[in-house]
Structure 1
Amino acid sequence: MFLYIKVILSLIAMFPLGLFAKNKVLIVADAGYEPYSYEKEGKPSGLYYELLKVIFARMADFEIEIHTMPWKRALNELKINKAFAIYPPYERPIERPWIHYSDKILEEHISLFCRKDNPYAKKKKWPDDFKDILVAKNSGFIMGDNFEKAVKSGYIKTDEGALTSLQNLQKIKKKYADCYVNDELSIKIALFQNSLNEDLTENEKIVKVIDLVTEPTFLGYVKNKSLFPYEEKFIAQFNYQLKLLKTSGELEKIYNNFITNSLTKRK
Structure 2
Amino acid sequence: MTARRTLAALLALPLLLAALAAPAAVDGNAAPAPIAVTIYGDDGYPPYSYLENGEMKGIYTNIIRAAAKRMPEYRVSLQPIPWKRGLVKLETGEAFALYPPYLRPAERPYMDYSDSILAEQLVVYCSQPVIERRPRKVWPDDYAGLRVGLNAGFLIGGKLFDQAVGAGRLSAVPARSSRTNLLKLMKGRIDCFLNDRSSIVWELGRIRHEGLVEPGALPIAETSVLSAEQGYLGYTNRDAGRFPYKHDFIRKFNAAIKEMKQDGEIRDTIEHFLRTPG
Letter in structure 2 aligned against 1:228: F
Give, in whole Å, the separation in 1 of the partners of 2:62 and 2:247: 24
Letter in 2 for 1:52: I
Matched residue type, 2:216: T
When residues 6 and 113 of structure 1 are mapped into structure 2, their CA distance, relative to the original with a 3 A threshold, is: closer
Structure 1: any 5+ residue segments left out of the alignment?
13-19
Aligned partners of 1:159 and 1:92: how far apart in 2?
Answer: 28
Distance in 1 of aligned mates of 2:174 and 2:267:
33
Mapped pair 1:35 → 2:47: yes
Tell me by how many angstroms 1:259 deviates: 3.8
Partner SS, residue 126 of structure 1: coil
Instruction: Determine if contact 1:136/1:177 at 8 Å carries over to the other structure.
Output: no
Residues 52-71 of structure 1: matches in 2 within 5 Å? 52-71=64-83
1:93 partner SS: coil
Distance in 2 of aligned mates of 1:89 and 1:8: 42
* Structure 2 counterparts to residues 6-17 of structure 1, below 5 A: none
What CA RMSD, in Å, does the superposition of the two structures yield over aligned residues? 4.3
The one-character-per-residue Cα deviations of 1:164-214 (angstroms, maximum 9, x if unpaired) are 543554565688877543221320221132138721635x45543321113
1:132-143 to 2 correspondences below 5 Å: 135-137=149-151, 143=156
Q: Distance in 2 between the 1:198 and 1:7 partners? A: 64
CA distance in 2, matches of 1:242, 1:80: 27
* Corresponding residue of 1:15: none
Matching residue within 255, 258, 262 for 2:273: 258
| CA–CA separation in structure 2 for the residues paired with 1:10 and 1:101 | 39
- Percent identity, aligned pairs only, is 31
How many residue pairs match? The answer is 249
- CA, structure 1 residues 96+118, in 2 after alignment: closer, same or farther (shift >3 Å)? farther
Whole-Å Cα distance in 1 between the matches of residues 193 and 83 of structure 2?
18
TM norm structure 2 = 0.66
**Deviations along 1:134-153, whole A, 9 cap, x unmatched?**
652375x675xxx4434776
Query: Matched residues in 2 for 1:94 and 1:179: separation?
Result: 33
Matching residue within 216, 219, 222 for 2:236: 222
Where does 1:75-94 land on structure 2 (aligned, <5 Å)?
75-94=87-106
Give 2:256's aligned residue. Answer: 241
Tell me, what secondary structure is at the counterpart of 2:38?
A: strand
Output the TM-score relative to the length of structure 1: 0.69
Matched residue, 1:149: 159
Q: What CA distance in whole angstroms lies between the structure 2 residues aligned with 1:212 and 1:90?
A: 17
